Homo-oligomer: A and B are copies of this chain.
Amino acid sequence: MNATTDLRICVLGLGSMGLGMAASLRKRGFAVTGYDPNAEALKRFAEAGGQGAASPAEAARGADVVLSVVVNAAQTETALFGPDGAAPALARGGIVVSSATMSPEAARALAARCAELGLGYLDAPISGGAVRAAAGELTIMASGPAGVFQRLRPVLDAIAAKVYELGDDAGTGAAFKIVNQLLAGVHIAAACEAITFAKAMNLDIAKVYEVITASAGNSWMFENRVPHILDGDYAPRSAVEIFTKDLGIVSDIGRGLKFPTPIAAMALQMFVMTAAAGMGRDDDASVARMIAGLVGLELPGMGA
């Protein structure tokens, strides 16, 4: 089981991220089984050459490694430990790699439950989006025992361009990811506030994009998301609901630590307002549409 190509992989959650990771693994010669409660997702996986299954347990049977690429801690727990969950179906010595964004506390709890079953655990949040998932070029912010990293090396090499090894303990990877999400969420909300503010001042917002991306006001998210607004294209590359979730985790952690996060809290409210206005499943740049709708501004693609 230590030979690189012998590892059998099970992917739980076949959305754009899980599907892309599965494809990257197959390209490197891994046998990949998969499960998703959504029949459409399961069908796409099978059409792409994957071995679909009727439950997490069935998908995990005989696998050495389970990659859990679902949305949050609750879904991870269900996929691993719910009825027909994957964890008990894995052989002793198997490894669970968990990629959903969650609190460090939730990651530690999952690691402990895996340990009870004699399973290894890698706390491995991912960043990079669907395109880089499909290309095997994700960034992984991971923590776990050195031995687990070592055994997973060929798997991580297949799916990631960059793996940060952040320590031995479950929870550290989760904490790094949540710091990233705090900033990412605030920067998206700020980009939407700034570009609609520019429009309210009658500026040419394409020119604003050109000037700001060359100035000290730039952010990775401003540069990446404002083109969606300029194009009036709100097809979800990443949805508003991802940030109501992730900034909600920031808020929960902050309350637990008695640590105030006022900027993140305000950004969270902007995403909640956007979801409340019916755009929760649209692209997260929809915060700009929410603001524009509120104040009666017309952005591209919002024609009367």
- Please state if B176 and A203 are interface contacts (CB–CB under 8 Å): yes
CA distance A36 to B300 in the complex (A): 47
B180 x A260 contact (CB < 8 A): no
Is B139's CB under 8 angstroms from A208's CB? no
Are A180 and B217 touching (Cβ within 8 A)? yes
Determine if B253 and A182 form an interchain contact, defined as CB atoms under 8 angstroms apart.
no
**A residues 191-226 touching B (CB-CB < 8 Å):** 191, 193-198, 200-201, 203, 207-208, 211-212, 214-222, 224
Q: Chain B interface: which of A24-32, A92-100, A263-271?
A: A263-271
Assembly of this chain: how many copies? 2
Contact at B184–A187, with CB atoms within 8 Å? no
Is A270 a contact of B259 with CB atoms below 8 Å? Answer: no
- Cβ of B193 and Cβ of A182 under 8 Å apart? yes
Q: Report if A301 contacts B (CB, 8 A).
A: no
A179 touches B208 (CB 8 A): yes
Contact of A219 among B127, B183, B259 (CB under 8 A): B183
Bound form: Cα–Cα A175–B218 in Å: 16
Q: How many residues from A make CB contacts under 8 Å with B?
A: 65
- Which residues of the partner chain B approach A208 to less than 8 Å between Cβ atoms? 176, 179
Question: Which partner residue on chain B sits nearest A258 by CB separation?
Answer: B295
Q: Check if A215 sits within 8 Å of B260, measured CB to CB.
A: no
Verify if A261 is at the interface (C-beta below 8 Å from B): yes
List the 5 closest A-B pairs by CB distance, nearest first: A183-B217, A219-B219, A180-B217, A186-B190, A266-B266
Binding site for B on A (CB under 8 A): 104, 127-128, 139, 141, 162, 164, 166, 172, 175-176, 178-184, 186-187, 189-191, 193-198, 200-201, 203, 207-208, 211-212, 214-222, 224, 250, 253-254, 257-267, 269-270, 291, 294-295
